Structure 1
Amino acid sequence: MAIDSSETLPGQRGPADHERRTQILQVADELFRVHGYRKTSVTDIAKAIGVSSAYLYRFFDSKQAIGEAVCAMALSSMGEAVSAVAERDVSATQRLRDMLQTLLSEGMRLFLKERRLHDIIVVSIENQWAVTEEHNNTVSEAIEKIVADGRESGEFERKTPLDEVCMAIRITAAAYAHPVLLSRLGDTDEMETKLSAVTNLILRSLAP
């Protein structure tokens, strides 16, 4: 995972571009992947770096703050991919298909192939960390743009309130971007088949 130390991260202290902060996040990311978030302590991270736990608290308020920073960076790749799809110069219909496919592909990569990231995302959802809410907002904004563009182009119906349509799509698509729900959808081929069926149903409901 690329670490952007210039980003303002949840619960951080001191200068955002400090090289020690970057090191803390890199080491925490590695330990979370090996041992899982729940089994990794601030002491473990400090020992791996060769500093005291007190020193780490100069940069982050708590273990959760470190976890939120790592979680934010993990989710940012999915959010950026979804936002990029929403901006493509193709039909809204194609963008909606591509966005749902992107959610599935990124979800499988983050939550199933990298199991320890699955663990930290579950923790973030269970504890309602702000980073997950920000991620949900990013996905919702992408959906709203695509649907609004589709209405403007005449691809989608305009009678149903926009917020109602976007909420329904977000809820329907949640299974493909949620670590626990995604793991219950079967193997890759089965997931793709289910996604195709869901996408076709959504598009039929949006037809003018």
Structure 2
Amino acid sequence: MSKKTANDTASDLSDATPGQRGPADHERREQILSVADDLFKAHGFRKTSVTDIAREIGVSSAYLYRFFNSKQAIGEAVCARALSSMDNAIRAVAERDQPATQRLRDMLQTLLEEALRLFLRERRMHDIIVVSIENQWSVTEEHNRVVYETIEKIVADGRDSGEFERKTPLDEVCTAIRVTAAAYAHPVLLSRLGDPEEMETKLTAVTNLILRSLAP
């Protein structure tokens, strides 16, 4: 599997966010996203309008539509930037020069840490991620693909090194791990798992069970 850099990831996520207009690297686009991000965190995605964003920047709503065709398009772009930090973090773990067993453990831990940061500590970001999941925005589908492919790389490496069993179909193993890990990276489910320390204890137990099931 080929490596992806942070720039590659940013490009992938940009491609996955519909409703974009104008040059991708325009400084005004970045200003719009930065202001929208702040407003979404302060007031929530649902309560923030395109007019609110335009007013904060000091331009007309019509001007914003030169770059995004709707509030959803702005929301998807903000969401993509937030999720890309999680994607980059778990990809970095997958590329480490360590045994696959350790990388899988660290990747699931990193997924939880990033989810806690985005979904619980930055509560308004929780709001926009929930909206994106409920409405099946393409950015969350892209994020799910990245998580799956990261798991797939680690498991495949573990099979090649003899750390993991090879009898079970690879896609079945990766899907099972992805579904199991979903509770620790979903904003709504995460909020029901208890305090962060308890979550880490539960994740350790789940990870130990996963690794035992992968043993040759």
| TM-superposition CA deviations, 1:169-197 (whole Å, max 9, x none) | 00000011100011111011110110010
1:22 corresponds to 2:30: yes
Using the alignment, how far apart are the partners of 1:102 and 1:48 within structure 2?
A: 35
| Counterpart residue number, 1:143 | 151
Structure 2 distance, partners of 1:83, 1:50, is 38
**One of 176, 179, 184 as aligned partner of 1:171:** 179
Q: How many residues align?
A: 203
1:53 corresponds, among 49, 55, 61, to 61
Q: Does 1:12 align with 2:20?
A: yes
Q: CA deviation at 1:12?
A: 1.1
Q: Which of 144, 158, 161 in structure 2 is aligned with 1:153? A: 161
1-side partners of 2:33 and 2:197: how far apart? 35
Task: Compute the displacement of 1:47 (Å).
Answer: 0.7
* 1:23-172 map, 5 Å: 23-172=31-180
Distance 1:199 1:17 in 2: 40
In the other structure, the counterpart of 1:3 is: none
In structure 1, C-alpha distance between the alignment counterparts of 2:208 and 2:26, rounded to whole Å: 48
Q: What's the CA shift for 1:26?
A: 0.8
Alignment pair present for 1:196 and 2:204: yes
Q: CA deviation at 1:69?
A: 0.2
Map 1:177-192; keep pairs closer than 5 Å.
177-192=185-200
Name stretches of at least 5 consecutive residues in structure 2 with no aligned partner: 1-9
Q: 1: distance between equivalents of 2:66 and 2:194?
A: 44
Which letter does structure 2 place at the counterpart of 1:21? R
- Secondary structure of residue in 2 paired with 1:120: helix
Q: TM-score, normalised by structure 1?
A: 0.96
Identity %: 82
Question: TM (normalized to structure 2)?
Answer: 0.92
Aligned Cα root-mean-square deviation (Å) = 1.0
Q: How many angstroms apart in 2 are the aligned matches of 1:155 and 1:18?
A: 47
> Which aligned runs of 4 or more in structure 1 are off by greater than 4 angstroms?
none
Aligned counterparts of 2:27 and 2:200: Cα–Cα separation in 1: 42
Unaligned 5+ runs, structure 1:
1-5
> Paired residue for 2:4?
none
